[in-house]
Structure 1
Amino acid sequence: MKKFLAALMLLASATVMAEPQLGNEFNQTAKTIKTDTPAKIEVLEIFWYGCPHCYHLEPILEPWVKKLPADVYFKRVPGVPRPDWAPAAKAFYALEALGLTNKLHTQLFDAIHKARTLNPTVDAPLIDWISQKGGLDRKKVEEAFNSFSTNNNVVKAMNTFRDSGATGVPALIIDGRYITSSSMAGGNQAVLKVADYLIENVRREKTGGTAK
């Protein structure tokens, strides 16, 4: 029995220590995605406000982002694999344009998933909500929603989703070349560990070292 338990402990230890594998916990993106800051390592989250999995990832993602090293840059891009996801993407870019992202990003998630008072697939309720919570004239919010910049960003988001090879959200893209997700990695905590592993590998490549 003691030998059996020791073998189990050894197996468990090996499992914990096992490195993420290409084709399992992460993969290469379908196409290389151009990053905003080539001098840094970009971590890009593809998400959708209507996604419960994205909502549950958010509380552990935020503190992880705050602890990222200075050579790592984090950004979000809304996933738009189909037309009914576009209103929430427009809401994201409207918040950015109006300077309300820090104030309302989490609140918007809560309104959809906790209070369940908001439909993320229709423009009008989202415009009304941002106007109310942001203390802004509805016309100003509507203009931000339907601006050329917002519509252009939504098209770019659609292309990013396609080029990443993502099959769902949330997904994390590292350096425009690697993709992982909670489902691939085995959970929300696990996906951040895979992201840490990929960040470290990319850092080695950028500094002339050898990736694992």
Structure 2
Amino acid sequence: MALSAIALITASATAVAQEQAYRTLDAPLMTDGDGVEVREFFSYACPHCADFEPQIRAWTERMGDQITVVHTPVTFGRNSWEVLARAYFAADALGIIQDTHTLMFQAIHQQGRQFSDAEAVAEFYASVADVSEQDVVDAMNSFSVTSQINQANRLVGEYGVPGTPAVAVAGKYLIDVRAAGGQAGMLEVAESLVSRESE
């Protein structure tokens, strides 16, 4: 009986801690995909995002069809971050994101590379994926990518994203990585919210 009571108290404490680890939006936002949308706000320039990338990748594979993960690069008004956000959207548009996403993090944070303009990104992408440098430059400077940048900036404001990485679930919740106890905790909270939304 005592063990059951302790287990119940522990479960209740965990639930309370998880509830304190996210904020519920006043008005839910539109979501994408068939499963519960999990939106990651990130920047290739962010070292914490580089640490988080293999974790969210493994978690995404484990969660399978329950979720649709949407990666949203942020700029926070920084020109250097905008170049990298354009790099993400261009790779996605060109169908090479699977080849480039992890490698961009590695190039910046393990190899010390810098990507200050579209030409630098294009040279790198052409070296790791089946794409021409000109196609990359054209995609990065396209109206479509500019529109996606503007939409991403709007979402950052609507979700109230304070920093990166950040995770939103179901267009309703934004998880606070610090309150969640770190990146692994953020994914635990996300999984709990996905389960709630799947019921």
**Fold in common (TM above 0.5):** yes
Q: What is the DSSP-based 3-state SS (H/G/I as helix, E as strand, rest coil) of the residue aligned with 1:151?
A: helix
Q: Is the 8 A contact 2:73 2:152 kept in 1?
A: yes
**Structure 2: unaligned runs, 5 residues or longer:** 1-5
Q: Is the 8 A contact 2:18 2:180 kept in 1?
A: no
Partner residue of 1:78?
Answer: 73
CA distance 1:47–1:16, change in 2 (3 Å): farther
> Radius of gyration: which is bigger?
1
**Matching residue's letter, 2:108:** I
**Matching residue's letter, 1:50:** A
Partner residue of 2:42?
Answer: 47
CA distance 1:22–1:61, change in 2 (3 Å): closer
Query: 1:89 aligned to 2:82?
Result: no
Runs of 4+ in 1 over 6 A off after TM superposition: none
Aligned pair partner of 2:151 in 144, 149, 156: 156
Cα offset, 1:200, TM superposition = 1.4
Partner residue of 1:103?
Answer: 99
Aligned pair partner of 2:122 in 124, 127, 145: 127
Q: Identity of counterpart residues, as a percentage? A: 25
In structure 1, C-alpha distance between the alignment counterparts of 2:45 and 2:12, rounded to whole Å = 33
**Structure 1: unaligned runs, 5 residues or longer:** 1-9, 205-212
Partner residue of 2:14?
Answer: 18
Instruction: Give the alignment's TM-score, normalised by structure 1.
Output: 0.82
Report Cα offsets for 1:124-166 as digits up to 9, x if no partner.
3222222232243221111011111111111111011111111
Q: Which stretch of the first structure deviates more once superposed, 184-193 or 20-29? A: 20-29
In structure 1, C-alpha distance between the alignment counterparts of 2:114 and 2:67, rounded to whole Å = 34
| Alignment RMSD (CA, Å) | 2.3
- Alignment length, in residue pairs? 192
Aligned pair partner of 2:24 in 19, 28, 42: 28
In structure 2, C-alpha distance between the alignment counterparts of 1:180 and 1:199, rounded to whole Å = 12
Q: What is the DSSP-based 3-state SS (H/G/I as helix, E as strand, rest coil) of the residue aligned with 2:31?
A: coil
Cα offset, 1:99, TM superposition = 1.2
Partner residue of 2:111?
Answer: 115
Q: Is the 8 A contact 2:75 2:82 kept in 1?
A: yes
Partner residue of 1:65?
Answer: 60
CA distance 1:117–1:156, change in 2 (3 Å): same
